[in-house]
Amino acid sequence: MKPLSQKIKKIQPSATLSITAKAKQLKSQGVKVINFGAGEPDFDTPQNIKQKCIEALNKGLTKYTPTAGVPELKQAIIEKLKKENNLEYTSDEVIICCGAKHAIFNAVCVLVDDGDEVLVPSPYWVSYPEMVNFAGGKLVAIPTDEKTNFKITAELLKKYITDKTKLLILNYPSNPTGMTYTKEELQDIAKVLVEHQIYCISDEIYEKLVYDGLKHISIASLGPEIKKLTITVNGLSKAYSMTGWRVGYACGPKEIISAMNNLQDHSTSNITTFVQYASIEAIKNSDQFVSMMYNEFIKRRDYIVEEINKIPYLKTTKPQGAFYIWVNIKELKGKKYKDQLITDSLKLAELLLVEAKVAVIPGLPFGDDDYIRLSYATSLEDIKEGIENIKNFLTNIE
C-alpha cells in the first residue's frame, strides 16, 4: 500500500477522544458517569426552529442552493450583524459554512501558506493547531495565565510578531477559559494588527454567552482598517443549541470570502438546504430561548466556581462567558491516587473517569497541561453530584 499524504500525517488524532470513548464504554455498562466534557448546550433546539425545518422539507426545499447560502439567510445574517455587532456587510462578503469549524478551516486554508506563522493565544480551542498544520502554517502560541486573566495584550502580541506572521486567531469569549475582551483591549490589539498588516480570524461563536454586564464587541467593528483584515466567524451551534445542524458563517473582505467560496464549491458545496430556512427562524426569533439558557448558565457557573474553589488542590477563575471552567490542577501533578502517579492532565482525566465516574477534558490539547476543562452545560443536579464525586476522589490523594 502506498503511504497516506504528508498533509494528513500532520493531523493529530483528538486527545480527548479516548476519554470520550471510555466514558461511553462505562455508560454502556450501566455506570452513571457525570459528563463535564460536553462542548454543547444541554437544551433541545427550540420547537419553532424545528417547525420551520419541517415546513421547508414539506415545501420541497431539498435541492442545491448557491454554495455560500440562500439570499434570505444571508440577509438575516447581514441584519443581525448590523443590529447586534455594528458591522455592515454586503451579500458577497458573507458565506455560510457547515459550522463555525468549517468556516475557520476554509479561512485558514485561504490565508495560510507554507511557513506562515499564525498567532494563537494559549490556551486555545483544540482544532486551531490542526487546521494551521494542515494548511502548512506554523502555530505560534502566545501563553497566557491567571495573572493576565488568560488574555493577551497589545504589548504581548507585539513580542510574538515576526516578518512571517500572517494571521492571529482570536476567540472570545474563549473556549476553554471563558474570558473575553473589552472594547479598549480590542482597540489596542487592532492597532497592532493594522500596523503590521496581520489578518485576524475572530471566532465569536460564544458571543451570546457573555455575563456580568459585559458587552460583546466584534473587533471588525472598531474601524475600517481592522475590518479589512478581519474575518468574523460565528454560528448557530452554541447560541441556539443547534450543534448537530451544522450552521456557521464567516464575513469579511470580498476577496477572502470569494476564495473561501471557491474552496467550498469543490468540497462541501452549500450546507443542507432546509436547515438554511430553519436558520432564518433561529436568527430572527430566539430571544426568549437565549435568555432562558443564559440565566440557567449563570446559575450553574456561580455554583460550580464556588464549589470547585472550596476543594483542596483545585482552583479556578470566574469565567466571563461561554460554559466552561478552566481548572488549575498544578498542585495535583506528582501526587498519587492510591498507588497511581498523577503525571499529567491526561492521567488525571483518566483517573477521574475511572475512579470518580466524572468525565472532564484534559488541558494538554488546549496547550496547557496544568489545567482541566469542565463544562457546565449539564444540569445543576448533575453538577452537584459530580462535585461530590470529585471531592471524594480527592480524599485519597497523597
What are the two backbone dihedrals, phi and then psi, of residue 392, each rounded to the nearest 5 degrees? -60, -40
Contact between 171 and ligand PLP by CB under 6 A: the answer reads: yes
Cα separation, 397 vs 347, in Å, equals 14
- 39-78 mask for ligand PLP (x: CB under 6 A)? x---------------------------------------
- 125-164 mask for ligand PLP (x: CB under 6 A)? x---------------------------------------
Contact between 204 and ligand PLP by CB under 6 A: the answer reads: no
* Assigned C-alpha cell, 124: 486555545
CA within 13 Å, CB half, 190: 23
Task: State the pairing for strand pair 165-171/117-122.
Answer: parallel
Nearer to ligand PLP, 203 or 281 (CB): 203
Extended beta strands in the chain, E state: 34-35, 94-97, 117-122, 138-143, 165-171, 199-203, 230-235, 248-251, 315-316, 324-328, 336-337, 340-341, 358-359, 361-362, 371-375
Q: Which of residues 86-125 bind ligand PLP (CB under 6 A)?
A: 99-101, 125
Q: Whole-number minimum distance, CB 130 to ligand PLP, in Å?
A: 13
Contact between 243 and ligand PLP by CB under 6 A: the answer reads: yes
3-state helix, strand, coil in the chain (%, to 5): 45, 15, 40
Contact between 272 and ligand PLP by CB under 6 A: the answer reads: no
Contact between 363 and ligand PLP by CB under 6 A: the answer reads: no
Nearer to ligand PLP, 56 or 96 (CB): 96
How many residues bind ligand PLP (CB under 6 A)? The answer is: 13
Nearer to ligand PLP, 243 or 268 (CB): 243
Cis? peptide before 173, omega within 30° of 0:
yes
Find the radius of gyration of the CA atoms of the chain.
21
What is the 8-class DSSP label of residue 285? S
Per the listing, cell 506572521 goes with 165
Which of 76, 110, 131, 205 binds ligand PLP (CB under 6 A)? It is 205
User: Which residues of the shown chain bind ligand PLP in the complex (CB under 6 A)?
Assistant: 39, 99-101, 125, 171, 175, 203, 205, 235, 237, 243, 248
